[in-house]
Structure 1
Amino acid sequence: MVLPDHLSGTTAVVTGAAGGIGAALAIELASRGMSVVAADIDADGARQVADDLQAAGRSAIGVHVDVSDSESVRTLARRTHAEFGSVELLCNNAGVLLFGDVAESSLADWRWLASVNVEGLLNCLHAFLPGMRARQGWRHVLNTASTHAFLPDPRGTALYSATKHAIVALSLGLRGELGGEGIGVTVLCPGQVGTRILDSQRNRPTAYGERAGEPFGTGAIPMAIAPSRVARDAVEGVLRDAPVVFSLPEHGHAEFRSQVESMWQLTGDALRDHIGG
């Protein structure tokens, strides 16, 4: 099937774009004719992504942003509009991960995760949506969550999974709110992707306390798919206005389906106990 491509000549903002899925999204979107703002707390990394795109003849800039800081995000929005005039696609992709049991994790652990994964998304929406809503034509929001939002037993990632549950809920709610204005919303749920997410705490501010344990090290995720595959799945989902897009290795499909069915079973059992049937 050939998908309609509304992207050429429009502008995308991608947070978390210095590497991993964000960098892959920037490359994929630029290859489809979009001007790209690669934004990241890693300013050098974001600029390198933009420099590589420019060297390939694409329109791109790299900008520092700390999505947990609302003023930093507003500065990003001002820079973007000054450079390109409008934003048609907002990719809220910045995210961090840590491990730990719920009862043993600190409130600082939670606050750091939530400040980036949830509040960072909200900061970006607040900064960019007014301009998007004031325009006509094709506009879309892509929010990166995770397959962890659908796991019945997160096993050491419950705090992280909770933030990803929140992103799914916010995205589906936002989709209902913006649909009547012609703005689409897609939530991307990747799993096992070859990124540096295990080393998220390299950017953890000291204000959020000591680093949590890193039981799986800080290297690349094993048996993972390439970020470029996730980016293609995401963009194709955006173009068909999909509410939810999953992207994970084929070897994990059966296990993930089983996990989702276990979640459904919890709900089914509760409904049966409450209303019978």
Structure 2
Amino acid sequence: MPESQLLAGRTAVVTGAAGGIGAALATELGARGMSVVLADIDAEGVQRTAVELRARGMRVIGVEVDVSDPDSVAALADTSLAEFGSIELLCNNAGVLLFGAVADASIGDWRWLASVNVEGMLNCLHAFLPAMRAASGWRHVMNTASTHAFLPDTAHTALYSATKHAVLGISLGLRPELADDGIGVTVLCPGQAATGILDSQRNRPETFGRRGAEPFGTGVIPMAIAPEEVARLAVEGILTAEPIVFALPEYTRDQFRDQVEQLWRLADDALGHPGDPYPESAGSRPAAGA
């Protein structure tokens, strides 16, 4: 089937869809003919976005969900299947961000980040994959990680980066696991995107303790790639079954490459071949530590 027709008539679930990248994904998918379940912990926001998309002729519903709660996610799956009959595309996009040094962070900070960014993805996979695996035809999963999944901590984001490393690792492991079922897996890695993620703690439950510091405020990230462009790149990557899709501002690409190379240089040094990750032969180099 041509890529232009692959999505039409099928159904997608997008978490974190009240705004930002999630809302842009829902819009892009709806414009390509998909029915879309918009899911978010922000009940008012997700309904507002759903109303806007229905006004544009798209077939969508908005559902309140807490992805960190398995029962809430199970209810989302039941609602989605009852409304549309099948789910062909699952976009695990919900995520939160927190800044702070590891030594100063509370265990509550970590548990909150992990409960949404990692456990939220796993809850959705466990809730939706049984029906997706039992179906046939085109099916796909997209998990949203971050460029931080490839970086050491660069600005007091070590805990956040750790959750995104986990999303990347799980996604790359899930890809061959689901291949025999005919289900594709793509991991989306946005960089600096113009979203409200700096205000993540507006939805932080009190059970995780006091709010962390917000050194960069709570506004929309400036000088960033538009969520609509992230969504376009993501959907194009889904259609071509890419394992990884990067979406970041053009002016940050060289810096990102340099940061990734720094990480590889650490590995090179640890392997005993500093500056040369691909020696012509092991025998042409002195043994590590020599």
TM over 0.5: yes
Unaligned regions of 5+ residues in structure 2, if any?
A: 275-281, 286-290
Structure 1 match to 2:229: 229
Deviation of the 1:3 alpha carbon: 4.5
Which residue does 1:128 correspond to in 2? 128
Q: Which residue of 1 aligns with 2:96?
A: 96
Q: Equivalent pairs: percent with the same residue? A: 68
Structure 2 length normalisation: TM-score?
0.93
Which residue identity is paired with 1:261? E
1:13 positional shift: 0.2
Partner of 1:78: 78
Q: Which residue of 1 aligns with 2:255?
A: 255
Q: Which 10-residue stretch deviates more, 51-60 or 167-176?
A: 51-60
Q: Counterpart in 2 of 1:166?
A: 166
Q: Which moved more, 1:25-34 or 1:53-62?
A: 53-62
- For residues 258 and 22 of structure 1, what CA distance do their matches in structure 2 show? 29
Question: How far off is 1:155 after superposition?
Answer: 2.5
Summarize deviations over 1:89-115 as a string: whole Å, max 9, x none.
000000000101011100000000000
How many residues are treated as equivalent by the alignment?
A: 276
**Would the aligned equivalents of 1:198 and 1:216 in 2 still touch at CA under 8 Å?**
yes
Q: Kindly indicate whether residue 51 of structure 2 is the aligned counterpart of residue 36 of structure 1.
A: no
Question: Structure 2: how far apart are the matches of 1:27 and 1:215?
Answer: 31
CA shift, 1:264, in A, is 1.2
Task: Give 1:273 shift.
Answer: 6.0
Distance in 2 separating the partners of 1:184 and 1:196? 29
| Contact preservation (8 Å) 2:152, 2:158 | no
**Cα distance in 2 for residues equivalent to 1:133 and 1:144:** 21
1:180 paired residue number: 180
**C-alpha displacement at 1:57, in angstroms?**
1.0
Partner of 2:212: 212
CA distance in 1 between partners of 2:147 and 2:58 (Å): 32
- Cα shift readout 1:175-221 (whole Å, capped 9, x = no counterpart): 01001111000000001100000000000000000000000010111
> Could you tell me the TM-score, scaled by structure 1's length?
0.97
One-letter amino acid of the counterpart of residue 68, structure 1? S
Q: Any conservation in 2 of the 1:154–1:161 contact (CA below 8 Å)?
A: no
Match of 1:23 in 2: 23
Q: How far is 1:152 from its partner?
A: 2.5
- Deviation string 1:56-76 (CA, Å, 9 cap, x unpaired) is 111000000000000000000
The one-letter code sitting in structure 2 at the alignment partner of 1:69 is D
Do 2:153 and 2:161's aligned partners in 1 also have CA atoms closer than 8 Å?
no
RMSD (Å), alpha carbons: 1.4
Aligned partner of 2:278 in structure 1 is: none
CA contact 2:142–2:188 (8 Å) conserved in 1: yes
